[in-house]
Amino acid sequence: MDIYIYNTLTRQKEKFVPVDPNLVRMYTCGPTVYRDVHIGNYRTYLMADFARRVLEYNGYRVKKIQNITDVGHMRRNETNPEAFDPVIMAALESGRKPLEITQSYTEQFLADNERLNIQPADVYPKASDHIEEIIEVVKELLNKGFAYDSGENIYFDVKKFKDYGELSGNTLTKMEKLLEAVRVASETDKTDSADFVLWKRVDPQYLMKWDSPWGLGTPGWHIECTAMSLKYLTSVFSDRLPDNRIHLTIDLHTGGEDNIFPHHEDEIAQSESFTGQKFVNIWLHGGHLTVEGEKMARRRGNVFLVQDLVDRGFDPLSFRYLTMTSYYRSKMNFTWDSLAASQKALDKIYQLVKSGPAPIQHSDPSYAKEQVLIGCAEYEQRFLEAVNDDLNMPKALAVVWDLVKSDYPLSAKKASLFKFDKVLGLRLKETSEKPEEVPSGVLQLVEERENSRNNKEFARADELRGKIEDLGFTVEDTPKGPKIVRM
Ligand code: AMP
Ligand code: ZN
């Protein structure tokens, strides 16, 4: 079945056709590791994970690269376009060395990925390890006349790139008007206000600096992603792919909606000027997670971390579930109540998969006779249609609940749910196999009941079964002894 994804570049849903039928190449803009990665960031990373899982569900092999931004680059803001990110400054001022800071936040990022069951990327390249490639790209852009040295810094000359603005709609004519209003003194070395930094010269006392043909400096933010995505997903730096083909276009590039401009617009300008080929076929952007209607952002002080959810007694996967309840491109307002509702829904599914026998395997000879599994195929079809239609996870969840409420036998439902979980990522199989955590009171009653049965006091044993059921559990008598199951 075809997969459709909304492409920010063409502003429409497009049939997904990878450049190479055997391998999908995707790139996800990664975190800045001078600060905590919050659940707003994770909403975007979860979207990328759903995309990757849907592709794999359809039989594609996916190579996913997610960078780690560990260079304390400048970020524009409205009042001071060349200012340092204040959070990075605060981290550095805490007296810790850059490497110490970035290492501890990177470790936390990877641990939280695992808690949210985000499949690991093939490589997590660090910007600081790719200065050589960055310099190579900047050199070539200068050679080709797409960049200039202002005497202070190296800038990309946006007027030289005719498609500038195609992704975001911020064309140069439109921007000219906007930038007129915010032109500031520090930008006077640029030819055009829309030009952006490729390489910034810095003073020797500056912490993160590298040697370059243009003296000591530090890279611009956008050039990092160009260098790393081209390095790991194209043949630019390796001449040829193992199959001896030149490959310059990436299939899928993801990020949050704030990445569209300037970050991704600038990535396109640099990369296409550098390679002379299309950079990315499909641009996938997710809507923001908000709190009381405001974007969740470190600077606003309205962020929550995965650990905050755990501290309040939530399973991190309840947040994964929550992100599936709304369409990925819409904004989503985070509340503790909505998280609690997701946790409740998740617990219900867990109870279902933990109860009853394990699903019948395809290799089981009785499978062919098991008509019910054919029945579930209709839900499997609907599920596939939902996820292949621009990652429609709310619709996919609706299929899950329709299946749960259906009349199909438990083992057939579980078989389908375990398949769906390749996309949902809720660890359903793992949870179903986990031994039930049984309260000690129930265990004591079960033991008493066993003693009664051994003493042939069956009336007493039945009475105890009733008490066990009152506590939400039931006992199945198996040849191996009593099996306690949550009702
Ligand atoms: P940053 O560290 O700010 O570069 O953000 C890392 C990723 O998270 C980027 O793809 C952003 O677009 C995304 N992001 C940042 N804030 C939010 C938010 N509140 N909701 C969703 N995605 C976000
Ligand atoms: Zn990026």
Evaluate: CB of 288 within 6 angstroms of ligand 1: yes
From CA 69, how far away is CA 101, in angstroms rounded?
Answer: 12
Q: Is the peptide bond before 262 cis (omega within 30 degrees of 0)?
A: yes
Tokens (6 digits) for 329: 């491109």
* pLDDT number for residue 84: 58
Supply the pTM of this predicted model: 0.87
From CA 422, how far away is CA 400, in angstroms rounded?
Answer: 13
Are 259 and 29 spatial neighbours (Cβ–Cβ below 8 Å)?
yes
Where the chain has pLDDT below 50, the residues are 74-82, 182-185, 367-372
From CA 131, how far away is CA 198, in angstroms rounded?
Answer: 12
* pLDDT number for residue 203: 84
Closest ligand 1 atom to residue 296 Cα is 19
Evaluate: CB of 289 within 6 angstroms of ligand 1: yes
Tell me, in angstroms, the distance from the centre of ligand 1 to residue 325's CA. Answer: 19
Other CB atoms within a 10 A radius of the CB of residue 272 amount to: 20
Which ligand lies nearest the alpha carbon of 47? 1
* pLDDT number for residue 77: 42
Evaluate: CB of 255 within 6 angstroms of ligand 1: yes
- The CA-atom distances, in angstroms, between 87 and each of 106, 222, 225, 258, 276 are 16, 19, 21, 18, 37
Evaluate: CB of 43 within 6 angstroms of ligand 1: yes
Evaluate: CB of 256 within 6 angstroms of ligand 1: yes
From CA 404, how far away is CA 348, in angstroms rounded?
Answer: 10
Which ligand lies nearest the alpha carbon of 223? 2
Evaluate: CB of 296 within 6 angstroms of ligand 1: yes
Length of the chain: 487
Evaluate: CB of 5 within 6 angstroms of ligand 1: no
Evaluate: CB of 31 within 6 angstroms of ligand 1: yes
Tell me, in angstroms, the distance from the centre of ligand 2 to residue 312's CA. Answer: 32
Residue with CA closest to ligand 1 atom 12: 256
Evaluate: CB of 28 within 6 angstroms of ligand 1: no
Tokens (6 digits) for 79: 């009042």
Are 347 and 437 spatial neighbours (Cβ–Cβ below 8 Å)?
no
Choose which residue among 108, 258, 331 to substitute to test ligand 1 binding: the one with the highest number of ligand atoms within 8 A of its C-beta. 258
The distance of Cα 264 from the centroid of its chain, to the nearest Å, equals 17
Which ligand lies nearest the alpha carbon of 31? 1
Give residue 189's identity as a one-letter amino acid code: D
Residue with CA closest to ligand 1 atom 6: 31
* pLDDT number for residue 79: 42
Give residue 254's identity as a one-letter amino acid code: T
From CA 121, how far away is CA 27, in angstroms rounded?
Answer: 9
* pLDDT number for residue 43: 98
Q: Is the peptide bond before 213 cis (omega within 30 degrees of 0)?
A: no
From CA 164, how far away is CA 11, in angstroms rounded?
Answer: 16
Evaluate: CB of 139 within 6 angstroms of ligand 1: no
Choose which residue among 42, 44, 105 to substitute to test ligand 1 binding: the one with the highest number of ligand atoms within 8 A of its C-beta. 44
